[in-house]
Amino acid sequence: MEMTTSGTEINKNHRGASVNKTAEMTRMALMVAMNCVSAYIIIPLPFSLSPIALQTLIVNLTGYVLNAKQAFMTMLVYLLVGLAGVPVFTGGSAGPGKLFGPTGGYIIGFLFTAVFLAYFRGEKYSFKRYALLGCVIGIPLIYVFGVVQLKLITGMGWDKAIMTGALPFIPLDIVKCLAAAVIAYPINRIFANNR
């Protein structure tokens, strides 16, 4: 009798773990898809190699709704899909030429930003904490990777790289960061209810 009970409990635990794994994979797949779709929502800027894109909102959101391991895997899958030639990078671009070209640093920065936000955001939702992390550290982290690669590949000076690769994007990126912090609340509730 004791053996049967223990076997039943093992089966229940196994099913519970399987359901949790499925929910985790679904959340990650959703965030990969959102990253891919957001790459197509852009506003080209005539004075910059990099357009304004909705992606920074989704990158922040990825960090706000997934744990650090999930955020890393999500962004890594996104990078590998684009690197393999599927047009999921900004404006429907893809391949090594984009990732290692003048604006590829921003894409690489997405991975580090999402993981950083996921790691430091805390267990409980806090709009102030999410917004502060995203605006003060997350967005600048993307800029660091983006501007450094822009400067190295094009050979432009630091002042021009910053003027064309970071400064024009700050106001809208702050808005997107705040929007991601707001949107994270209902998504976190939905994800919590489906664990």
* pLDDT of res. 1: 46
pTM for the predicted model, two decimal places: 0.85
| Residue numbers of the domain that contains 133 | 2-193
In the chain, the number of structural domains is 1
Encoded tokens for 17: 């773990």
Q: What is the pLDDT of residues 31-47, one digit of tens each?
A: 999 999 999 988 887 77
Confidence band, pLDDT 50/70/90 cuts, at residue 8: low
Residue type, 180: A
C-alpha count within 13 angstroms, C-beta hemisphere, residue 107: 31
C-alpha count within 13 angstroms, C-beta hemisphere, residue 188: 22
* pLDDT of res. 192: 80
Domain at 22, CATH number: 1.10.1760.20
- H or E segment at 121? none
Sequence-distant (6+) residues with CB within 8 A of 143 are: 106, 109, 165, 166, 169
Instruction: With a cut of 90, say whether residue 73 has pLDDT above it.
Output: yes
